Amino acid sequence: MIYGVVPPQDVFEKSRVKIKEELDEAESEVINIYESQISKSPAPIWLIYGSDKIVKKELEIIGRAKSTLHIASGFMFQEEVEKLNEALNKSLKRGVQTRIIAAPYNITDDEKIDISENIKKLDCEIKTFQIPFIKAIIRDKKEMLLIFCKFKDGSVISQTAIGVWNQYTEFVETITDLYNLVWTMNLFNMATDYR
């Protein structure tokens, strides 16, 4: 047998190629595992910024409703009422039981929005009460969207809107039960009750 000396760069190159092949294979396996599990473990809480994106998410949630919708609205954005009415009418036609607690009106970006006047034609249970500047949409005890805004001198500042989209079922069920408890209380004796 004859042995020859192999230059070090050849040894390193062979090792480099082998290590790269093993890394590529490992990367491929990890990506497959990650991508197959990502849909099984959704992130249950998301923050959404901007009134346009928030309204879009509200409409998506309403569109997914199968049995119940619980809405509390202490404010609305400009042109939001019309979009919500359209989406809610579609869900009501599908048989979704809907309850709404809404402020009579609010001021957004220094413009008055007549909330209760604009939603009273919906064929669902509606109670009017001057609730704080917060909004919540709860679907089927499975997901909810809470929306907050800064306000100044009684006017909501829409550019500060933040939505918290929550899919923790246990939490959403608790908030739905709390909503139903508030619904049955005598808070609304002084308020207008449509339907």
Q: Does 71 lie in the same domain as 13?
A: no
- Yes or no: say if 160 and 149 are a contact pair by the CB < 8 Å rule: yes
- Residue given tokens 């989406």 in the structure block: 87
97 with 12, same domain?
no
When divided into structural domains, the chain yields a total of 2
In a domain, 111, yes or no: yes
| Nearest one of 150, 151, 76, 148 to 106, comparing CA atoms | 76
Using CA atoms, how far apart are residues 132 and 129, in angstroms rounded to an integer? 9
Pairwise CA distance, residues 99 & 90, whole Å? 15
- How far is residue 42 from each of residues 45, 62, 63, 116, measured CA to CA in Å? 9, 20, 20, 36
Question: Are residues 144 and 85 both part of a single domain?
Answer: yes
- Structural domain range at position 31: 8-41
Q: Which amino acid does the sequence have at 116? A: S
The DSSP code for 5 is P
Whether 3 is covered by a domain: the verdict is: no
Residue 1 belongs to some domain of the structure: no
- The owner of tokens 């004859």 is 2
Same domain for 69 and 27, yes or no, is: no
> pLDDT tens string for the chain (195 positions)?
777 788 888 888 888 888 988 888 888 888 777 666 655 555 688 999 999 999 999 999 999 999 999 999 999 998 899 999 999 999 999 999 999 999 999 999 999 999 988 998 999 999 998 888 899 999 999 999 999 999 999 999 999 999 999 999 899 999 999 999 999 987 664 444 444
Tell me the H-state helices in the chain. Answer: 8-38, 51-64, 80-93, 115-119, 169-184
- Give yes or no: residues 32 and 124 share one domain: no
pTM of the predicted structure, to 2 decimals: 0.74
